[in-house]
Amino acid sequence: MGARRQDTVGAARYLAVDVGGTSTRAVVVGADGSALGYGSAGSGNPTSSGSALAAEAIVAATAGALQRAGVAAGQVADTAIAIAGGDGTIGRQLHAELLEAGLPAGLTFEPDLLAAFHSGTTATAGYVLVAGTGAGAIRIRDDRIDGRCDGLGWLLGDAGSGFWIGHHGVLAAVAELDGRGPPTALTDLVLADLGVQGTTERTAQARATGLRGVVDAVYRLRPVELARLAPVVLHAAAAGDDVAGDIVARAAAELAATLAVVLVDDLDGPLVLSGSILSQPVIGDPVVESYRTQRPGGDVATVSDGLAGAAVLVLRRAGERVDDVVLARIHASLADLRADV
Q: How far is the CB of 222 from a copy of itself (least distance, A)?
A: 11
Q: Which residue among 174, 233, 315, 322 contacts a copy of itself (CB under 8 A)?
A: 174
Options 156, 239, 325, 332; binder of a copy of itself; rule CB under 8 A? 156
Between 157 and 284, name the residue whose CB sits nearer to a copy of itself. 157
107 three-state secondary structure:
strand
Which CB sits closer to a copy of itself, 211 or 310? 211
Q: Are 44 and 83 in contact (CB under 8 A)?
A: yes
> Closest separation between CB of residue 70 and a copy of itself, Å?
39
Neighbour order of strands in the sheet with 271-274: 144-150, 135-141, 126-131, 271-274, 300-303
Residues 246-305 that bind a copy of itself (CB under 8 A): 257-258, 261
183 lines the binding site for a copy of itself (CB under 8 A): no
Sheet strands (E) in the chain: 13-19, 24-30, 35-41, 76-83, 107-111, 126-131, 135-141, 144-150, 271-274, 300-303
- Interface with a copy of itself in residues 6-45 (CB under 8 A): none
- Please identify, using beta-carbon distances, which residue of 220 and 297 lies nearer to a copy of itself: 220
Burial class (CB in 10 A: 0-12, 13-18, 19+), 321: exposed
**Does the footprint of a copy of itself cover residue 172 (CB under 8 A)?**
no
Stretch that binds a copy of itself, among 1-9, 178-186, 268-276, 291-299 (CB under 8 A): 178-186
Q: Which CA distances in Å does 5 have to 32, 104, 324?
A: 11, 21, 20
* Interaction between residue 153 and a copy of itself (CB under 8 A): yes
Residue 315 in contact with residue 31, Cβ under 8 Å? yes
Helix 281-294 to helix 242-262 angle, to the nearest 10 degrees?
40
Of 6 and 205, which CB lies nearer to a copy of itself in the complex structure?
205
Distance CA 50, CA 133 (A): 15
Count of residues near a copy of itself by CB under 8 A: 35
Q: Which is nearer to a copy of itself, 180 or 265 (CB)?
A: 180
Using CB under 8 A as the binding rule, the residues of this chain from 71 to 100 that contact a copy of itself are: 85, 87-90
For position 148 contacting a copy of itself by CB under 8 A, the verdict is: yes
For a copy of itself, the closer of residues 167 and 329 by Cβ is 167
* Residue 64 or 153 having the CB closest to a copy of itself: 153
CA distances 208 to 170, 192, 196, 199, Å, are 15, 16, 12, 11
Distance of closest approach, residue 121 Cβ to a copy of itself, in angstroms: 24
Q: What angle do CA 261, 222, 64 make, to 5 degrees?
A: 90
Q: How far is 305 from 174, CA to CA, in rounded Å?
A: 32
Residue selected from 52, 101, 105, 155 as contacting a copy of itself according to rule CB under 8 A: 155
- Window contacting a copy of itself (CB under 8 A); options: 149-157, 194-202, 284-292, 295-303: 149-157
Binding to a copy of itself by CB under 8 A, coded x per residue (else -) over 198-217, reads ------x---x--xx-xxx-
Under a CB-based contact definition with an 8 Å cutoff, are residues 158 and 147 in contact?
Answer: no
* CA-based torsion, 159, 270, 319, 65: positive or negative: positive
Neighbours of 88 (CB within 10 A): 12
Binding residues vs a copy of itself (CB under 8 A): 47, 85, 87-90, 147-150, 152-153, 155-157, 167, 170-171, 174, 178-180, 204, 208, 211-212, 214-216, 218-219, 223, 257-258, 261
